[in-house]
Structure 1
Amino acid sequence: MDEINLLTEPVDEAESPTGGQGRDRGKPQVPAKFRDPETGEIRVEALLKSYLELERKLARMVEVPGADAGEDARIHFRRAVGIPDTPEEYEITPPHELIDADPEVNRQLHEAGFTPAQVQLVYDLAGERLLPAIDVMSSEFEADRQLDRLIDHFGGEDKWREVAAALGTWGKSNLPPEVFEALSTTFEGVLAMHRMMAGGEPGLVQDAMPAGALGENELRRLMADPRYWRDRDPGVVKQVSDGFRRLFPGSIGT
């Protein structure tokens, strides 16, 4: 069999795996959408239009400055994404009356590159997440403080447990649920219940009264009023006493 010199053998383009395109390898290929489907000629107008659109997109893009970027590049980037030049320029809408804009917090957020929308989100999340948690902690602290006062007032934990059990039984039997709950939540309210129980003050009837007898509803409202159980306001105490006498003739007043 004769050997063939591959270096001098002519290449048949029809049989070439690349279909004759091997010679163009390395040259930029024009996408088919920029060629006329019939003639194969380059569509210059379409190519130019695409190029101009690409330029417009690139012009709108903002380059993120690197660690070695200059101050001008940083300022340009921050302004492009909406970060104000100073933290004082943040316009914040407080989500709650207990939350105000904090200059030091704003300074740190500005230094970290927060946009106005992101800064507002920080304050909104504080109102949404932190305030309820603070409220719970505050309520628990206040409850512990009031409980300590009751223990001290009644002479120790053992004595307080006895009084608390007696007040619970008496209050549930003699007071409307909403009044009992209101009085049970504060030091002054518990003392008011204790005075009522010790003085023989009758409970409020919970069954419906005859038509036209509105004294019970008014009495319930007054009993739940802090001016009665906390402040012992003379005028309110007198109204409650008169109400008892009207509903329960012969009862002991407050």
Structure 2
Amino acid sequence: MSENLLEVEAEPAGDGGAAGAVAVRPDEVPEKFWDGERGAIRVEALLKSYRELERKLSARFAPPADDAPEEERLRFRRAMGVPDTADGYVVQPKHELIGADPEVNATLHQAGFTPAQVQLVYDLAAERLLPIVAEATSQFEAERQRDRLRAEFGGEERYRRTAKQIAAWGRANLPEEVLTALSTTADGVIALHRMMEKGEPALARQAEAPETVDEAALRRMMRDPRYWRSREPDFVRRVTEGFRRLTGG
């Protein structure tokens, strides 16, 4: 039984001869969904329209197939917020070393990345890759400095032996912070070796640097890329000479 028992005919008018009043279509109900004769909503038409709308919405936000027309693929990408070209990406770099790269952007655009997803890629690169690169660079630079010392002292064995002697002499004669600072570069170690050979300076372990030397400034210079990365000779010499003056050498 499919008849709707809730839909009943209007009762006859009180005089028994005139037909009952027909319900008026509400303003919010479109005409195509209203049965004027019955004064009721066309339920079947409404359900059919809803199913069609649901199908269209599902198709709109479903990824197009690989063989879909380019127009359909472009329409889907626009709906997702993907720009028409890779030039439409605006990246806000978190670090000066991780800036927008046209080739990377082109690859991400081809994969259908949204601007937010592209920004996330660069953010993750700055957060995850930079520490790895910095560590690798530090290790490479440290090994390069050791190569200089091996050449300076005549091979691996003599370098190791001399390094132990310098370390023992430095701990006995220099403030700890000065020894630590000079021990981080080949130039600093060579300077320590020369001071050790000359027997100077005879400083107590906790001796203070002369007031005329600004140790904080020297430390800032050591953090400068010209010192630890490009190793500019004049700049490195200024740091080395500064520590020599600091220790009275």
How would you bin the TM-score normalised by the shorter chain?
0.5 to 0.7
Q: Does residue 202 of structure 2 align to residue 202 of structure 1?
A: yes
For the Cα contact (< 8 Å) 1:189–1:229, is it kept in 2?
no
Q: Distance in 2 between matches of 1:196 and 1:238?
A: 9
Specify every segment of 5 or more residues in structure 2 that has no aligned partner in the other structure, as ranges.
Answer: 9-39, 228-233
CA drift of 1:173 comes to: 2.4
Q: CA RMSD in A?
A: 3.7
Q: Counterparts in 2 of 1:87-126, with a 5 A limit?
A: 87-126=86-125
Q: Distance in 2 between matches of 1:154 and 1:111?
A: 55
Instruction: State TM-score, norm by structure 1.
Output: 0.65
Q: Distance in 2 between matches of 1:46 and 1:95?
A: 59
Letter in structure 2 aligned against 1:202: A
Specify every segment of 5 or more residues in structure 1 that has no aligned partner in the other structure, as ranges.
Answer: 1-23, 245-253
Cα distance change, pair 68–205 in 1 and its aligned pair in 2 (3 A): closer
* Identity value in percent: 42
Cα distance change, pair 73–220 in 1 and its aligned pair in 2 (3 A): closer
Tell me what 1:169 maps to: 168
For the Cα contact (< 8 Å) 2:218–2:239, is it kept in 1?
no
Of structures 1 and 2, the larger Rg is shown by 1
Instruction: State TM-score, norm by structure 2.
Output: 0.66
Tell me what 1:142 maps to: 141
For the Cα contact (< 8 Å) 1:179–1:223, is it kept in 2?
no
Q: Distance in 1 between matches of 2:54 and 2:203?
A: 80
CA drift of 1:72 comes to: 1.2
Q: Distance in 2 between matches of 1:67 and 1:191?
A: 65
Tell me what 2:184 maps to: 185
For the Cα contact (< 8 Å) 2:213–2:242, is it kept in 1?
no
Which has the higher mean CA deviation after the structures are superposed, 110-119 or 57-66? Answer: 57-66
CA drift of 1:74 comes to: 0.7
For the Cα contact (< 8 Å) 1:82–1:116, is it kept in 2?
yes
CA drift of 1:177 comes to: 2.5
For the Cα contact (< 8 Å) 2:149–2:159, is it kept in 1?
yes
Q: Distance in 2 between matches of 1:166 and 1:238?
A: 19
Tell me what 2:84 maps to: 85
Cα distance change, pair 116–107 in 1 and its aligned pair in 2 (3 A): same
For the Cα contact (< 8 Å) 2:171–2:179, is it kept in 1?
yes
Tell me what 1:67 maps to: 66
